[in-house]
Amino acid sequence: MSFPGWKKYIEEGDLVIVYMTRENMTPIFMKKGTVFQNRFGVYKHDDIIGKEYGSKLVSSNYRGFVYLLHPTPELWTLVLPHRTQILYIADISFITTLLDMKPGVNVIESGTGSGSFSHSIARTIAPTGRLYSFEYHQDRANLAQVEFNEHGFGDIIKMHHRDVCKDGFQMKDQVNAVFLDLPAPWDAVASAKEAFKQDRTGKICCFSPCIEQVARSVAALDEHGFIDITMYECLIREHTVAPIQKVDFSVAIKDAQDRKAKGLPSVESVAIKRKLGKDEPVPTAEEVEEAANLMLVSRTMGETRGHTSYLTFATFLPPSATRIVDENVPENDSN
Ligand SMILES: C[S@@+](CC[C@H](N)C(=O)[O-])C[C@H]1O[C@@H](n2cnc3c(N)ncnc32)[C@H](O)[C@@H]1O
pLDDT in tens, 226-271: 999 999 999 888 888 888 877 777 877 887 888 889 888 765 555 4
Question: What is the end-to-end Cα distance of the chain in Å, rounded?
Answer: 59
Tell me, what's the pLDDT at 272?
45
Which residue's CA is the closest to the ligand 1 atom numbered 26? 113
Distance CA 177, CA 205 (A): 8
* Mutate which of 91, 107, 108, 137 for ligand 1 pocket (most atoms within 8 A of beta carbon): 137
Residue 139 marked in a binding site: no
Dist. CA 115 → ligand 1 center (Å): 10
Of residues 305 and 185, the one with the higher pLDDT is 185
Pocket of ligand 1 (CB under 6 A): 84-87, 110-111, 113-117, 134-137, 140, 163-165, 181-183
155-205 pLDDT, tens digit each? 999 999 999 999 999 999 999 999 999 999 999 999 999 999 999 999 999
Fold of 77-235+308-316: Rossmann fold (3.40.50)
pLDDT score for 277: 44
pTM score of the predicted model:
0.82
* CATH (one of 3.10.330.20, 2.40.50.140, 3.40.50.300, 3.90.1170.50) for 9-71: 3.10.330.20
Q: Annotated binding residue at 14?
A: no
Per the model's pLDDT, the better-predicted residue between 210 and 61 turns out to be 210
Task: Find out whether 199 is annotated in a ligand binding site.
Answer: no
Locate CATH 3.40.50.150 in the chain. 77-235+308-316
Rounded to the nearest angstrom, the distance between the alpha carbon of 207 and the centre of ligand 1 is 11
pLDDT at 306: 63
Residue 212 has pLDDT above 50, yes or no: yes
Cβ partners under 8 Å of residue 50, min gap 6: 9, 10, 11
Q: What is the DSSP letter of 43?
A: E
Choose the weakest-confidence range: 60-69, 208-217, 305-314: 305-314
Query: Which residues of the chain form CATH 3.10.330.20?
Result: 9-71
What is the mean pLDDT of the segment spanning 40-51?
94
Highest mean pLDDT among 10-24, 134-148, 240-254, 309-323: 134-148
- Cα–Cα distance for residue pair 197/205, rounded to 1 Å: 16
Residue 295 has pLDDT above 90, yes or no: no
Best residue among 82, 107, 108, 135 to mutate for probing ligand 1, ranked by most atoms within 8 Å of CB: 135
Give the position, in ligand 1's atom list, of the atom nearest the Cα of 165.
19
Q: How high is the pLDDT of residue 278?
A: 45
Tell me the per-residue pLDDT of 53-77, one tens digit each, with 9 for 90 and over: 999 999 988 889 999 999 999 999 9
Mean pLDDT over residues 44-52, rounded?
A: 96
**3-state DSSP assignment of residue 240:** strand
Average pLDDT, the chain: 88
What's the Cα-to-Cα distance from 100 to each of 77, 198, 212, 316, rounded to whole Å? 21, 17, 27, 13
Q: Looking at residues 70-87, what average pLDDT do you find?
A: 96
How do strand 24-29 and strand 35-38 relate by DSSP bridges?
unpaired
Contact partners, residue 23, CB within 8 Å, separation at least 6: none
